[in-house]
Amino acid sequence: MELDPDLIEEFTNLKVSTRPISAEELANFDVNAPLRQRNAIDHPSYKTIPKFFQAPPPPEDTIRQNLRKEAHSLFLHQKSEELLDSNELNELWSTLEEHVTQTTSANEQLIDFDAYFLVQGAVSGKIRKYVTARLLGTLLVLSPHPGLVEIVSVFNYIMRKSWLKQGRIGLSFYDEAGQGYLRETDMEQYIIDLIPSLAQIRDCMEPSFQPFYVCTVVKRFFFFLDVQHRGRIRIRDVLESGMLSELLDLRETADPMDPQGQNPFSMAAVLGVYQNYLSLDKDHNGMLSKKELADYGSGTLTAIFLDRVFEECRTYEVQMDYKTFLDFFLAMDNRKSPQALQYLFRILDVGHRGYLTVPTLHFFFKGIQEKMKSQNEDPVNFEDINNEIFDMVKPKDPCKITLQDLIKSGQGETVVSILIEFHKFWAYENREENPQNV
């Protein structure tokens, strides 16, 4: 490849100076100025660089906004036509069964390379897009049977892929910005429109409870997926999290043998959270004071920790509303998760320095010592607890514990719990006598 002579001359004539640059020169430096003022570089290749970003039209440009929304809706409808319905899935399964290569003693139906490609030719063109060579290659690598794969593996993969596409398309209809993410209002509208199809919710929910159900569901999605608190979650993250699958499972009629409480979006689970909130609200004003929140869980959260909660979390005249309580509940109920540890670490990080020090740990442990004193328990030496915490976490810096140190150690739940809740601390201290309580 020959270099442009003008470009060679441009860089050949550049002079390198070693003299110091003054503050005035630096302030007046124009990064947009050409390398040579008399002739700006105009290389032909600059005209062939593709445009990789198209800014959305401004809100006031209603014509372009409506055109964009219409094009987005048309695109999603086209993608919806590629989805497999129940009849097509039945056709796929029947075709796979017709081309089984062998059946094992455990009744596993297997298919080999040649039979798989016969299936490709036997199914409709719409299904054929899912029955790919790449899928077969992937399943062959994972299969315990050399050169063979179970037809149920092929079917389950294609069915799940179709369902994920369906979920992505369904969520994308609510992506008002068209940028691949949902805001809280978008997610709320999606849940509202989805409820009539959720048999386990629709048939047992009072209309007056719907706003609380929607709020609880949306808050769970955002607590676990919007860790940076940007007020939006990526549709891709929603699909990969598995939470949408749990929510859509509620479309099926409830199995009497399967406890609904295991699904966090079930009516039993959501009602449990809401009733917990109501039971704490002793004065029935719809808000929680610090004194009322102190009864949460075992009722042994330290006063120091509760003070910090009300300092860091959004409150209204030092009262906590249901939305703020949901964040608190999700953090306390999922202390092993990185998202919960991030929430609790923010409470513990009094100086907002991004790490915990020995004085910080001592500050919170005073709350445990006060609880012990009120229970007439023998005092525990802080130095012993401090050493145990640092031994459990093993931080990179021997004097500081960061959030990443807590998460990486796998002991974050234990460390946080023994600093904020007397009941958990007592269980930890007596773990050898009652290991099941730890």
pLDDT digits (tens, 9 = 90+) for 106-136: 999 999 999 999 999 999 999 999 999 999 9
Token pair of 150, please? 């179970």
Nearest to 236 by CA among 177, 181, 159: 181
Alpha helices in 43-109 (DSSP H): 62-80, 86-98
Q: What's residue 324's pLDDT?
A: 96
Q: Are 43 and 7 in contact (CB under 8 A)?
A: yes
Q: What's residue 98's pLDDT?
A: 94
pLDDT digits (tens, 9 = 90+) for 34-89: 544 444 556 666 667 666 667 778 888 889 888 888 888 898 999 899 899 989 99
Count the alpha carbons within 13 Å of 150 in the hemisphere toward its beta carbon.
11
Amino acid of residue 383: E
Alpha carbons 227 and 339: distance in angstroms, whole number: 7
Put simply, whether the predicted model's pTM sits higher than 0.75 gets the answer yes
Q: What's residue 266's pLDDT?
A: 94
Phi/psi for 86 (5° steps) reads -65, -35
Q: Are 337 and 224 in contact (CB under 8 A)?
A: yes
Q: What's residue 39's pLDDT?
A: 46
Instruction: Kindly compute the dihedral angle of the four CA atoms of residues 294, 295, 297, 302, in this order, to the nearest 10 degrees.
Output: 30
Give the dihedral sign, CA 76/80/82/83: positive
Alpha carbons 356 and 438: distance in angstroms, whole number: 24
Kindly state the DSSP code that residue 30 receives in the 8-state scheme. Answer: -
Low-confidence ranges of the chain (pLDDT < 70): 1-47, 49-53, 255-261, 433-438
Token pair of 213, please? 């159900």
CATH code, 285-437: 1.10.238.10
Residue 240 neighbours by CB under 8 Å, 6+ apart: none
CATH for 175-268 (3.60.150.10, 3.40.50.11260, 1.10.238.220, 1.10.510.10): 1.10.238.220
Q: Are 112 and 65 in contact (CB under 8 A)?
A: no
Token pair of 350, please? 């009094």
CA 250 → CA 199, 259, 264, distances in Å? 6, 12, 11
For the stretch 385-398, what's the b/e string if a residue is b when 16 or more beta carbons lie within 10 angstroms of its beta carbon? beeebbebbebeee
Give the dihedral sign, CA 213/219/221/223: negative
Distance of CA 74 to the CA centre of its chain: 29
Q: Are 155 and 93 in contact (CB under 8 A)?
A: yes
Measured between alpha carbons, how far apart are the two ends of the chain, in Å?
69
Kindly state the DSSP code that residue 45 receives in the 8-state scheme. Answer: G
